[in-house]
Amino acid sequence: MISDHNFLMPSGGRESVSSKLFASSVLLNGANKNGDGDLYVGDLSYFCDENHLTQLFGQFGSVVSCRVMRNYNHSKSLLFGFVTMSTAKEAIAAMQALHSQMYMGRKLK
């Protein structure tokens, strides 16, 4: 199983390989027992919240849940989050369309 921290995509030419690994992981390991597609979303804007992610990923299917990770003491965004789509197929479509795209001034990973 590929661990989540491998998805912090390095800059410089290896994104396409990482994207393929990520897509494979969503299909094989990211789908939970209900067939849901879990996605890690990195390099979010400080201003991005769960409503923004739900709207963005909702273009590709049904968003079951999403969460922007925050600093416990200060409630500041840690600039990453998780989105669960209703199917692995929707998760892959969202990942393929949004990976490396600019959103709220930052390139999504």
pTM tops 0.85, yes or no = no
Q: What range does the domain containing 77 cover?
A: 27-107
**Count: domains in the chain:** 1
pLDDT of residue 74: 82
Q: State pLDDT tens for residues 45-85.
A: 999 999 999 999 999 999 999 999 999 888 889 999 999 99
pLDDT of residue 54: 96
**Cα–Cα distance, 24 to 80 (Å, whole number):** 21
20, part of any domain: no
Q: For residue 60, give the CATH number of its domain.
A: 3.30.70.330
Q: State pLDDT tens for residues 1-37.
A: 333 433 433 333 344 444 443 443 343 334 444 556 8
15, part of any domain: no
pLDDT of residue 70: 92
76, part of any domain: yes
Q: In Å, how far are 22, 27, 68, 79, 104 from 107, measured between CA atoms?
A: 17, 24, 16, 11, 8
